[in-house]
Amino acid sequence: MMKNLLTLLLAVFLVQNSAAQKILVAAHRGGHLTVPENSLAGMDEAIRAGADVVELDVRDTKDGVMVLMHDKNLDRTTTGKGVLADLTYAETQQLYLTHQGKPTLYHIPTFREALAYAKGRVMIDIDFKISGMEARRKAYETIEELGMESQVLFFLYDYTEMDSLYKINPRIKMMPRAYNNDQMRKIIDKDLTDIIHIDPSFENSPLLPEAHRKGIRLWINTLGDVDTKASDNQSVYKDFIARYKYLGAIQTDFPARLKEAIRQP
């Protein structure tokens, strides 16, 4: 328990002090190698793997309850069928999460339940998949009510939402995604956040060293090809980090493996 608390405190410090030179490791959809993705058990697994941040996906039910779910449809990750938004929360609780196609004993957790479970344990990256500013306001209220403003990152697919969200609560750190240099330039100039999500297309971007000098932490994913290749050779991770030398956070499906690669000299 003490080790987990120290890990969290360090992660919070690093996220809030982006100039600190340490690469944070984020567990994509939680630690889902042995348990269902976007589950409370997946959060436990990510913490055990040493992840600094746990990424969670948020959608809503027919009656407006925010729950953890990546897909619009229930088919891949639960014992249900059809669209999540067609079911009430009570109806979703009759379903079970699946892992590798097999039913488990886990239920779909609510957003509030997941945040409360993470409180004092690990940083959370919120991949918010519900449209509309009112839904974002509701999510912000939940974060505030639980006193977790310093323990979350709120991922934005659209950087133009930054101004509105900053006005709602500037203490909740936004992580906008930049899809090109023009968007990166605008995000930097807004000066409303110090963490930006980029992708491999930014490898030679002249804005990366500038962002680094300004204390902006750069987040990138190794999901898919890089993670797969690293399963046989951890030097793949080291080569990736060398190519993107200004990185401050990496999201992966294999947090323990990536943490080990980072630790190795």
Residues of the chain above pLDDT 90, percent: 89
pTM as predicted: 0.93
Measured CA to CA, the distance from residue 76 to residue 70 in angstroms comes to: 10
Task: For Cα atoms 156, 160, 161, give the angle at the middle one, nearest 5 degrees.
Answer: 55
Measured CA to CA, the distance from residue 54 to residue 259 in angstroms comes to: 14
1/96: higher pLDDT: 96
Residue 123: per-residue pLDDT: 97
Dihedrals phi, psi of 83, to nearest 5 degrees: -95, 130
Q: Which amino acid is at 121?
A: R
Residue 245: per-residue pLDDT: 83
> Which pLDDT tens digit goes with each residue over 39-81?
999 999 999 999 999 999 999 999 999 999 999 999 999 999 9
> Which pLDDT tens digit goes with each residue over 82-138?
999 999 999 999 999 999 999 999 999 999 999 999 999 999 999 999 999 999 999
Average pLDDT of the residues in 21-30: 92
Q: Where are the domains of the chain?
A: 2-57+110-263
Measured CA to CA, the distance from residue 3 to residue 61 in angstroms comes to: 36
pLDDT beyond 80 at 18: no
> Which pLDDT tens digit goes with each residue over 157-193?
999 999 999 999 999 999 999 999 999 999 999 999 9
- Look at residue 26 and give its three-state secondary structure: strand
pLDDT beyond 60 at 10: no
Residue 199: per-residue pLDDT: 95
CATH topology of domain 2-57+110-263: TIM Barrel (3.20.20)
Confidence of residue 265 (pLDDT cuts 50, 70, 90): confident
